[in-house]
Amino acid sequence: MSVAPRKALGQHFLVDENILRVIERLAELQPDDIVLEIGPGLGVLTRFLAARVAHVHAVEIDRRLEASLTGVERTTIHWGDALHLDIGALEPRPDKLVANLPYNVATPIVVESLALDQLRSWCVMVQREVADRFFAVPSTKAYGAVSVLVQLATERTGFHPVSREVFRPRPNVDSALVAFRRIAPGAPAEVKRIVEAGFGHRRKTLANALALAGVASRESAVAALASIGREAGVRAEALAPPEFVALTGALA
């Protein structure tokens, strides 16, 4: 490996090809798939995907990797920050996200991608604690805003713990592959605003957290909670994802 991974970019290059068959199974790859890959690194997964699907859009911020990614069949390389790329404008339009996501942007990439209705499934490699958050249940430590937003739009279809040895450099944390598919559109902006505000002050009551975030007065929040059958002292972590939709409607 001639390019040294950069910690600032959250880079841990995939080097063990044995894990690729697991990705193929969890992602349910088909010959007509148009795949979005974010953080291709040395191109190990990119070349594997390109040999099995119709087209790959690979988004990479690190220009040092150009030599490793040049000339991959049926693949378009997009240089830049994936969080600033207009994915909806890509042609052909990607319908699956399959990636070993950079650790430092994994959560925002998944959350933002939920708004792209064209994406119908995801298979992503992330830190194990991030994977656990995606489908955590209410009233647990792992449950948070990302849990609510992911679960409102998707359902989990697969999970596979990943050894630290498949990466270089070897990370100091465990990783996992998690697969999920769309069951609904991404949460509307107003729901997302309430969810993120509610978990913004996790130790406070939900009504106080919404007031501190400036999205509702405490009095209106308490009244809205009562209308959905919740007491004034409830915290955000106690509400199931659909309750946040109901709460948003009550606040409106």
Query: DSSP letter string over 31-73?
Result: TT-EEEEE--TTSHHHHHHHTTSSEEEEEES-GGGHHHHTT-T
* CATH number of residue 221's parent domain: 1.10.8.100
Mean pLDDT, the chain, integer: 92
The lowest-confidence range among 1-5, 113-117, 244-248 is 1-5
C-alpha pair distances (Å), 54 with each of 57, 95, 100, 118: 10, 11, 20, 16
Last residue of a domain, one of 157, 182, 207: 182
Residues 6+ apart with CB under 8 A from 149: 111, 114, 186, 187, 192, 195
pLDDT at residue 1, as a whole number = 46
Q: What is the pTM of this model?
A: 0.91
| Residue 54 binned pLDDT confidence (cut-offs 50, 70, 90) | very high
| Residue 169 binned pLDDT confidence (cut-offs 50, 70, 90) | low
3-state percent helix, strand, coil for the chain, nearest multiple of 5: 40, 20, 40
Last residue of a domain, one of 182, 197, 219: 182
The whole-angstrom separation of Cα 41 and Cα 68 is: 8
pLDDT digits (tens, 9 = 90+) for 16-38: 778 899 999 999 999 999 999 99
Residue 98 and residue 210 share a domain: no
**Which residues form the domain of 201?**
189-251
pLDDT at residue 171, as a whole number = 66
Query: Is residue 2 in a domain?
Result: no
Q: How many domains would you assign to the chain?
A: 2
